[in-house]
Each structure stands twice: as structure tokens, then as C-alpha cells.
Amino acid sequence: VASASSEMLLQSHTSMSSMTWHTVGYSDAYGQVVQPSSFTGSAALSGSDEWKVTRVEYYSRRESSESASYRLDLELTGDDGLPTHEHLFRATLNPNAVSSTGGWHSVTVSDCPWLDATQPIAMTLTYLSGSNRLMVVESSASGATGMLTTDESASEWLRPASTRSLMYRVYGVKRTKAHTDESVAIPRLSMA
């Protein structure tokens, strides 16, 4: 089995221009599609590579100082970029751990499985309970893409936006696949 690389930045959008704050609430969830085909530099993947997330960061603030909870999910996405509800990682978090004025919040991702070089994922943030809510930043600056929003309920995701993004960073590792798929010809098959 090939050894994993050191942790590296896989994908991000960090532009502070064109910022809009959104509240993660009862019917409003937000997320970001992470496309491995967009990884660049030393993070770029070949068809024989696999990757996994080790840490995520998102620019956020809390609405108040009341008690509350929200959920961070990493999920597989389908061809349409929408979350499939096949969870790779899930954490219940307290918005009070986030700055009241805005800043980067980091979450360590444990036990995330290895993913194929072509498999995109979604990072989603959903309200759970309480009087306090998480607020996240939408950016429409140059290069923004892949933001997920909901329609009417926190589980009805709209297709990813092509010109909007959360402000986020995704870190991870990569390695050469532990095995490769091979085609084997069958010389003869007899059935009775």
C-alpha cells in the first residue's frame, strides 16, 4: 500500500470581496461542493490516485451567545453535484465555538474513507436546535463556484451555483491507489 502524502490544501475559496452573510436556520442550510478535478499544484490527482479529507475550515460567525447546535456533514455527491446522504463524516458542533465577529473555524475530520480521484463531495452545514445560529459567508468574487443552498426545507438542496461559493478551505492527503482495476478476458464460458 502506497504511503499517504503530508496534509495539504486541496481546494479553497478565500476571497474577501463580494461577501454576503447567511444564517444557517430552520429551513436554510448551506454547503460547498469539493471537486477533486479542480485540485491544482501538488494536490492535483491522476487517475491512479485516491484522496481523503483531514480538515475543513469555513469563514463564519455566531448569531448570539445562546446555547444551540448545528451539524457539519461531508457527503458523497451525485453527478448533479447534489448531496446523496451517503455520509463520510458527521459532527455536531456548538456555534459558540465560533467568533462573534467573523473568522476562520477549523474542524478536524477523523476516519474519512479514501475516495476515488473522480469522486466529488459536499460539505454541508445544517441547523439542529437552540436559539443561537451559525452564520456563513457567500462569496461571488472571481472564481467562486459550487455553493449549495436549500429551497423550503433544510433537506431540499438546489443544484450547485456556478458563480457563488462559501468561503472555505479543505485539507487532505492523497496516495496511489492500493489496487488497480484490471480487465481480464474470459476465453470460454459454458452454461448448462
Confidence at residue 178, expressed as pLDDT on a 0 to 100 scale = 73
The DSSP 8-state label assigned to residue 6 in this structure reads P
Q: Rounded to 10 degrees, what is the CA torsion of 111, 112, 116, 119?
A: 170
Confidence at residue 155, expressed as pLDDT on a 0 to 100 scale = 87
> 134: closest CA among 41, 21, 38?
21
Using CA atoms, how far apart are residues 185 and 85, in angstroms rounded to an integer? 36
Q: Which residues of the chain fall short of a pLDDT of 50? A: 183-184
Confidence at residue 181, expressed as pLDDT on a 0 to 100 scale = 54
Find cell 502506497 and name the residue: 2
Confidence at residue 83, expressed as pLDDT on a 0 to 100 scale = 95
Which tens digit of pLDDT belongs to each residue from 86-120? 999 999 999 999 999 999 999 999 999 999 999 99
Which amino acid is residue 34, in one-letter code? V
Q: Which residues are CB-contacts of 171 (< 8 A; sequence separation ≥ 6)? A: 7, 8, 9, 10, 53, 54, 55, 56, 57
